[in-house]
Amino acid sequence: QKEVEQNSGPLSVPEGAIASLNCTYSDRGSQSFFWYRQYSGKSPELIMSIYSNGDKEDGRFTAQLNKASQYVSLLIRDSQPSDSATYLCAVNIGRTGRRALTFGSGTRLQVQP
């Protein structure tokens, strides 16, 4: 079992719709959860972080965390063609002393005009 799992996609949504991206993780001790956006040929850009159960909203983005289910998601409202990118879920796996992130394989999002 991979430590962080994502559906590779592509996830295709029409412009203006809600895009829902999902991620599961294996280590119950994980404390920090991040969503990065990566455009082709570019480095990952942090868009959301979440540390406690529930929802966290920032503009059109909402991150949701459910530690009991070991599940974190990202909702993108009013999707725009410029949101077309690969979205990487990253988790600080709860190993003692480790601060590096473990990444999922990424979900490619396509927003159709």
Partner 1 sequence: SAVISQKPSRDICQRGTSLTIQCQVDSQVTMMFWYRQQPGQSLTLIATANQGSEATYESGFVIDKFPISRPNLTFSTLTVSNMSPEDSSIYLCSVDEGAGTEAFFGQGTRLTVV
CA distance 73 to 112: 21
- 64 DSSP β-pair partners: 55, 73
Report, in Å, the least distance between residue 95 CB and partner 1.
Answer: 11
Peptide bond before residue 14 is cis, with ω within 30 degrees of 0? no
Among positions 18, 39, 42, 95, the unique one binding partner 1 when judged by CB under 8 A = 42
Among positions 34, 74, 79, 111, the unique one binding partner 1 when judged by CB under 8 A = 34
Count how many Cα atoms sit within 13 Å of the Cα of residue 98 in the half-sphere of its side chain.
13
Tell whether residue 44 is a contact of partner 1 (CB under 8 A).
yes
Q: Which residues bind partner 1 (CB under 8 A)?
A: 31-32, 34, 41-46, 49, 51, 88, 90, 92, 99-106
